Amino acid sequence: MSEPTEPTVLYETRDRKAYLTLNRPDRLNAIDFRMPGELAAAVKRAEADPGVHVIVLQGAGRAFCSGYDLKISAEDGAGTQGSGGGDPVWDPIKDYALMKRFTDDYFSLWRSLKPTIAKVHGFAVAGGSDIALSCDMVVMADDARIGYMPARVWGCPTTAMWVYRLGAERAKRMLFTGDTIDGRTAAEWGLVLESAPPEELDARVEALADRIAGVPTNQLAMQKLMINQAYDNMGLHGTQILATLFDGITRHSPEGRWFQEFAAAHGFQEAVKWRDSGRWIPEGGGPVPSREDLED
């Protein structure tokens, strides 16, 4: 089989702005093994361009990003790190190294000296929320959804940005339940900068980007470095190390293996449906539900 040639991240510039577009619309911009590196490369390209003052990140098609493209790995037990969700031996450092590289790729948006804006339509969920929340500012459509559903089983948000944006109580509200919220609620809670009616989203983001684009790049860089330093002082990097280790553990805990076995038996969509419905996830794993259980 030939390697895919279509880039997973498109790049264009105009009027002092770089536009990065997640480009797997047929998979709702689900994250494959190429996308994180291509995203980081696009950020680096924008940062090296003296004509770019601000970066806008968006998604092609019907959504911003649906998270990791885990259908195959969940159903065949391959895991996400290549050492095997269903393998008898799990290498936690191999897992950590891969997932930390992905996290660092997303966080190139945060570490870039140029301001970054995520424009979210449809949804930014699971790993897609990690990408969006790595941007300096997020503007959502009122009806868009954001959340980290794998917090219920088989995941931990590796960027750890929920607590830094929401504070402890609301971060716990989101990650104890795996619920999603719409753009209006996300803006009210302070998770994102603002929300807009879907038909006004593009114009709202353009107005913000244009306002920023009029500022000299050295001024923008100094303001961003100063603000980000406050988060670094609060232990952001250390928190991300812990979150990334925990993410690997969640996929190899007894409950995580149960979820993978469920997906192998009934398909990933059925496993996700069970997880997101709020039905109990067996402590310590246990037998996979039968087809009759799914129909109850």
pLDDT at 293: 80
pTM score above 0.85: yes
* Domains and their CATH numbers in the chain: 9-252 (3.90.226.10)
pLDDT at 4: 61
pLDDT in 10s for each residue of the chain, 296 residues: 445 689 999 999 999 999 999 999 999 999 999 999 999 999 999 999 999 999 999 999 999 999 999 876 676 665 544 434 455 689 999 999 999 999 999 999 999 999 999 999 999 999 999 999 999 999 999 999 999 999 999 999 999 999 999 999 999 999 999 999 999 999 999 999 999 999 999 999 999 999 999 999 999 999 999 999 999 999 999 999 999 999 999 999 999 999 999 999 999 999 999 999 999 999 998 899 888 888 77
Full DSSP string of the chain: -PPP-S-SEEEEEETTEEEEEE--GGGTT-B-SSHHHHHHHHHHHHHH-TT--EEEEEESTT-SB--B--HHHHHHT-TTTSS-SSSSS--HHHHHHHHHHHHHHHTHHHHSSS-EEEEE-SEEETHHHHHHHTSSEEEEETT-EEE-GGGSSS---TT-HHHHHH-HHHHHHHHHHT-EEEHHHHHHHTSSSEEE-GGGHHHHHHHHHHHHHTS-HHHHHHHHHHHHHHHHHTTHHHHHHHHHHHHHHHTTSHHHHHHHHHHHHH-HHHHHHHHHHT----TT--PPPPHHHHH-
Torsion of CA 271, 258, 151, 253, to 10 degrees: -160
Tell which residue, 106, 109, 134, 117, has the closest CA to residue 213: 117
